[in-house]
Amino acid sequence: MEYLVIGSGVAGISGAAAIRQRDSGGRITILTEEAYPFYSRIRLPDFLAGRVSQEALQLKKESWYREQRIDLRLEQQVAALDVAAGSVRTLAGASFPFDRLLLATGGVSFVPPVAGAGKEGVFTLRTLGDAIRIRAHAATAKRVVVIGGGVLGLEAGNGLRLAGCQVTVIEFFDRLLPRQTDPVGSALLKARLEGMGFAFVLPARVEQILGEERVSGLRLADGRELACDLVIIAAGVRANLGLAREAGLAVDRGVLVDDRMCTSHPQIFAAGDLVQHRDTTYGIWPAAQEQGEVAGANLAGDDLRFTGMVPSNLLKVAGIDLFAMGDIDGEGRREQAAIVNLDEERAVYWKLVLDERERLIGAILFGDLSHRRRLVAAIDEVRAVSPGLRAALQEGHLERL
């Protein structure tokens, strides 16, 4: 059996490992357009900060690929997928046949249509290659603007702040982390980040990136101008759909897959940031890993299911504890039923979001994560909150969960 995997991120690698567990004789080839073997994207902000080396980002040793008999081919950008012929062609003209294919081409950074976004010194952060280029540019840059106050924007900005840059974050919404916090959590977060040296402009929309060849600043829609010499655009991620769409696979916001991670073609499975499963595109590491495992197992003849997961996010900025999971009710639609606790003195805040049947469906924790595990378990099982438990929680006893 000839297995081909496109993409060596967490979905592709966990898929390949799951295939090998079940098929010791099949040939497994992984193609990636990147020049580096599987590494931690999650730690790229630490790399920007100079706190982790390029080597330490690598997640598998060379010996692992050898032992697993996985043929990893770097710098092989797949340009076309021929479903009928069962082969792919790379940009350099090489052809790779397959009996079974795992598509794991991940996501690409979304760049909004802002004039000047192609100037030197304007970056997105998705790959180790991006991070290496940003670091090289940051060596001669002091003033950084991050467009986008989501998790990625704040973590990337923090990396460059730790590397000695002044960082200003511009956010389109009127609060930071609009998908992970509500207004109270966001205000606490902003105050804490300002205390660390961050500056914020929000709500604001960037109209133009200024400069000759190299970025020198940007203009906002209200006419204000900010000088800067490095811009990071962190405006979201989109599924990297090109190959799948051109090959005629069913796509929407992502490649459509069933619970077995099978696409509209029975020999082609897909996993990770690329896919849309039960109308959800996750964009997080644990989902990509689990989907990859399920896809790989099924490609090798098993019958596993991915039935979805409650997404969660942890902000990884040292000195700030912020965790969000499930429905955080950022707009206050479920305010009546929520259980909220705010200790302004300690800057500790948490909110538990309940559905109409008094079941726990989401939460925000800020400033104290000591009960995070309990909370994750309770949300995962959509635990019902009895009147007695509600009373205890309202008095601040999160440990009673």
Taking alpha carbons only, the member of 209, 104, 193, 105 closest to residue 151 is 193
Q: Is 265 in the site for ligand FAD (CB under 6 A)?
A: no
Both tokens of residue 124? 């997105």
Applying CB under 6 A, the span of 42-50, 335-343, 354-362, 384-392 interacting with ligand FAD comes to 42-50
Member of 18, 49, 72, 125 binding ligand FAD (CB under 6 A): 125
Q: Is 351 in the site for ligand FAD (CB under 6 A)?
A: no
CB of 224 to ligand FAD, least distance (A): 28
Member of 4, 5, 10, 218 binding ligand FAD (CB under 6 A): 10
Member of 17, 49, 72, 152 binding ligand FAD (CB under 6 A): 152
- CB-based contact 269:100 (threshold 8 Å): yes
Q: Is 254 in the site for ligand FAD (CB under 6 A)?
A: no
Q: How many CB atoms lie within 10 A of CB 61?
A: 10
* Number of residues forming the site for ligand FAD (CB under 6 A): 36
Q: Which is nearer to ligand FAD, 251 or 393 (CB)?
A: 251
Q: Which is nearer to ligand FAD, 32 or 168 (CB)?
A: 32
Member of 3, 4, 5, 7 binding ligand FAD (CB under 6 A): 7
Applying CB under 6 A, the span of 4-12, 219-227, 246-254, 296-304 interacting with ligand FAD comes to 4-12
Q: How many CB atoms lie within 10 A of CB 278?
A: 11
Both tokens of residue 187? 């205000």
CB of 388 to ligand FAD, least distance (A): 35
Backbone angles phi, psi at 388, to 5 degrees: -65, -45
Q: Is 6 in the site for ligand FAD (CB under 6 A)?
A: yes
- CB-based contact 299:102 (threshold 8 Å): yes
Q: Is 12 in the site for ligand FAD (CB under 6 A)?
A: yes
Q: Is 157 in the site for ligand FAD (CB under 6 A)?
A: no
Q: How many angstroms separate the CA atoms of 310 and 236, rounded? A: 20
Q: How many angstroms separate the CA atoms of 353 and 333, rounded? A: 10
Member of 5, 49, 105, 154 binding ligand FAD (CB under 6 A): 105
> Which whole-number Å values give the CA distances from 375 to 12, 378, 393, in the listed order?
30, 5, 12
Applying CB under 6 A, the span of 2-10, 185-193, 200-208, 390-398 interacting with ligand FAD comes to 2-10
Residues 278-307 that bind ligand FAD (CB under 6 A): 283-286, 288
Backbone angles phi, psi at 164, to 5 degrees: 105, 5
Member of 46, 171, 273, 290 binding ligand FAD (CB under 6 A): 273
Q: How many angstroms separate the CA atoms of 260 and 253, rounded? A: 19
Both tokens of residue 328? 């955080």
- Classify strands 348-354 and 339-343 as parallel, antiparallel or unpaired: antiparallel
Please, which residues have CB within 8 angstroms of residue 60's CB and are 6 or more apart in sequence?
A: 13, 37, 38
Q: Please tell me whether residue 293 adopts helix, strand or coil conformation.
A: helix
State the DSSP H helix or E strand holding residue 294, giving kind and residue range, or none if neither: helix 285-299
Q: Is 44 in the site for ligand FAD (CB under 6 A)?
A: yes
Member of 98, 101, 116, 126 binding ligand FAD (CB under 6 A): 126
Taking alpha carbons only, the member of 223, 300, 353 closest to residue 24 is 300
Alpha helices in 58-166 (DSSP H): 62-67, 128-138, 151-162
Q: Is 42 in the site for ligand FAD (CB under 6 A)?
A: yes
Residues 186-245 that bind ligand FAD (CB under 6 A): 240, 243
CB of 42 to ligand FAD, least distance (A): 4
CB of 6 to ligand FAD, least distance (A): 5
**Which residues contact ligand FAD (rule: CB under 6 A)?**
6-12, 31-34, 41-42, 44-45, 76-78, 104-107, 125-126, 152, 240, 243, 272-274, 283-286, 288, 316
